[in-house]
Amino acid sequence: MNLNVKLTNISNFEHSEFNFRSGCINILEMPNAAGKSAILKAIATAYSFPLKSRIAEESATRLGIWRKVPPQPLAKIGSSRGIIEIKANGDVRTCIIETQEDIIVNQDGDEKFLFTSFVSIESELFRRISGGEDSLKWLLPAVSKVEDYERVLNVVFSIFDKIEKSLQITKDKKSHLELLKSEIERTKEELTIVEQELEDINQEIEKAKDKMDPELKKKYEKTSAKIENLRTKINEKEKEVKNSSNDLRRLAKEIERHKKELEDIDTKISEIDVELKQLGTDKEVKREIENIEKELDDLGKKRAIIQYRLKMFKSALSLNEGTCPLCGSGEFNKNYIQNRIEETQRELNKTDSEARAFTAKKENLARKLERIKDLNKKLPELLDKKQYIEREIDKLHREIEPIELKTRSLDNEIKALKSELAEKEELLNKLREKIMEKSEVKELYRKIELLLERKGELSARLSQKYEEIEEISKINILEREIPLDRAEELCKLYIAALNEVLNWLKNRINEQKKGFAERFNKSIDNVITRLKFKNLKVWIDSEDLRILIKRGESHQLIASLSLSEKSVIAVLLQIAIKEAFLPKVPIFLIDEVITDFDKERAYEVIKYLLEVAKEKDWIIILAKVGEKSSIMQISSIDEITKIF
């Protein structure tokens, strides 16, 4: 397999092409600052973009591959766009690096490439090991789903907590409800006793009244009836006032709910405004699409011309050798025509590759345009909804006005009735005094007054308890109002399920960690065995993912190693990581580091890499500083010494 890398306006390269082979070690030799790292970074870009995680973005930024805020570092300074084209066995990857924007790829790579397949002093693992870090925890989210499961675990925990709290509140409310019910029972019993006593006393008074003056008796009865009538009226009016107050509370709640909806809509509107500002106008995007379409059109025309030329050259081949295809006489060079055919074919391939990149960019812009259209459609919908809710609020306010008026008028009526009642009660008191002077009922009336007072107190207490029951009869669980009698069962159901889900998530996270450690340990063990480093053992702890090193019988910490030993360990770990976590992408890039080892170690590591390259048909590129620029292929062990 061959890896063909074409760079246009990348780093120092205006138009350059490099070829690497699989099954051997490709030694990329260049003088300092000639751009060998840029070639490796370009390959890494093509195989890792688009980036999805924060750690990959940070790593790419440190490597000088990408920046969140342009200009993009890989593009040639002064150029508006750099292009990386990579061909390997029919797989064509094109990356367009828009200097002032972002990196666009025609096919998705895998961001794991950055952590597994590229070693340099700036690469993530090398940097961490050189700094004495002795854990591979950082790699776990990059090559597994642990971070995603942990994010879900935290959310499920917080929901679980909320439901546990709701269950506690439900239980508290239920015991309060029981208490209220027994208090109501007691109050009702007491009320029955008071009413019975009142009835008994009234009967006694009736008997006493029979003995009094008929004129006085008549007046007394008439006033009593009037008082009773007034009390009934006052009760009715007060009931009406209570209903009105309930209505007013309900309307106020509805207004509150609508206001909350309005706030949510305003937030959404401002979010859309911000996104629209970031995306630009549809006209701008359309213009960009038009420009790309024009470029594509031009490329189409260019392609037709190239194809025509290709056809002409191919047909020229069928002419007799020795005859000029233009004038039919003179020199005709078949080799020359064949060279032109190859050249034209390359030109055609390049045009196709450019067209693919433009098409990818166009698709990207089309998605952007769709999003803009979508947001522009949503915006008036939200504004309509906002207006509708505002109208609803106005309507509710208009509903409130007559109720408030009615309440005020009822209050006035009650006031008038109460004043009339006071007058009649005064009159009745006077009549009663007259009766009392004449009879033995004085004590009975005193008792009635006390009992009526007690009855009023008990009735008020009863209605207060009923109101409390009404208030605690519902509970909010996950933003839903649930009747109290159903809430406990529902909370318990949720808790049982979430408990199991939490266990399941913890198991998934442990499985991921364990799987990560197992794969890595198997891989590093294989690397060390094959390198015949008999006294060395390296592995990671499956719990805390700490890197453990044992040399002979003694354990060593990464931090205690010399800088060159750290480099060797970093390279061994990197090879093991590559073999464990991204073996399917057969490319491994090494920017110097190994050539800085002492010769013996470097020889062993390169020998091992050569074996891997042959066995797995990998393309391994080792960049090193040299006087001239060249690519040398090392295919046998005997050739390794050429490197040094």
Partner 1 sequence: MGNVQNISSKRNSPEDIIKALINVIEGLVEERAPTDVIEEKIIEELRRF
b/e code 492-524 from CB counts within 10 Å (16+ = b): eebeeebeeebeebeebbeebbeebbebbbebb
Positions in 405-464 near partner 1 (CB under 8 A)? none
Q: Which is nearer to partner 1, 32 or 278 (CB)?
A: 278
> Could you tell me which stretch among 9-17, 116-124, 155-163, 214-222 binds partner 1 (CB under 8 A)?
155-163
Residue 156 as a binder of partner 1 (CB under 8 A): the answer is yes
How many angstroms separate the CA atoms of 12 and 75, rounded?
A: 9
> Could you tell me which stretch among 62-70, 145-153, 325-333, 456-464 binds partner 1 (CB under 8 A)?
145-153
Instruction: Establish whether the linkage from the previous residue to 71 is cis, with ω within 30° of 0.
Output: yes
Q: Which of 98, 102, 148, 295 binds partner 1 (CB under 8 A)?
A: 148
Give kind and range of the element (H or E) at residue 625.
strand 619-625
41 by Cβ neighbours in 10 Å (0-12 / 13-18 / 19+) ranks as buried
Q: Which of 367, 397, 408, 480 binds partner 1 (CB under 8 A)?
A: 480
Following DSSP, what letter does each residue of 303-315 receive, concatenated? HHHHHHHHHHHHH
Residue 261 as a binder of partner 1 (CB under 8 A): the answer is no
Residue 494 as a binder of partner 1 (CB under 8 A): the answer is yes
Q: How far is the CB of 497 from partner 1 (least distance, A)?
A: 4
Residue 145 as a binder of partner 1 (CB under 8 A): the answer is yes
Q: Which is nearer to partner 1, 162 or 217 (CB)?
A: 162
Identify the CA nearest to 573 among candidates 39, 44, 142, 128: 128
Vertex 526: Cα angle to 525 and 529 (nearest 5): 85
Positions in 46-75 near partner 1 (CB under 8 A)? 52-53
CA 144 to chain CA centroid, Å, is 17
> Could you tell me which stretch among 61-69, 90-98, 332-340, 474-482 binds partner 1 (CB under 8 A)?
474-482
Q: How far is the CB of 142 from partner 1 (least distance, A)?
A: 12
Is residue 491 within 8 A of residue 173, CB to CB? The reply is no
> Could you tell me which stretch among 150-158, 329-337, 429-437, 558-566 binds partner 1 (CB under 8 A)?
150-158
Contacts of 409 (CB under 8 A, 6+ apart): none
E strand spans, 460-524: 474-477, 480-483
Q: How far is the CB of 479 from partner 1 (least distance, A)?
A: 8
Contacts 24+ apart (CB under 8 A), 251-260: 251/396, 251/399, 251/400, 251/403, 252/400, 254/396, 255/393, 255/396, 255/397, 258/389, 258/392, 258/393, 258/396, 259/393
Q: How far is the CB of 478 from partner 1 (least distance, A)?
A: 5
Q: Which is nearer to partner 1, 9 or 166 (CB)?
A: 166
Residue 486 as a binder of partner 1 (CB under 8 A): the answer is yes
> Could you tell me which stretch among 60-68, 426-434, 501-509, 528-536 binds partner 1 (CB under 8 A)?
501-509
CA 439 to chain CA centroid, Å, is 87
Q: Which is nearer to partner 1, 96 or 505 (CB)?
A: 505
Q: How far is the CB of 492 from partner 1 (least distance, A)?
A: 9
How many angstroms separate the CA atoms of 577 and 392, rounded?
A: 62
Q: Which is nearer to partner 1, 53 or 510 (CB)?
A: 53
* Binding footprint of partner 1, residue count (CB under 8 A): 31
Beta pairing partners, 476 = 481
The site map against partner 1 for 234-253 (x = CB under 8 A) is ----------------x---
Identify the CA nearest to 26 among candidates 429, 628, 624: 624
Binding site for partner 1 (CB under 8 A): 52-53, 145, 148-149, 151-152, 154-156, 158-159, 250, 474, 478-483, 486, 490, 493-494, 496-498, 500-501, 504-505
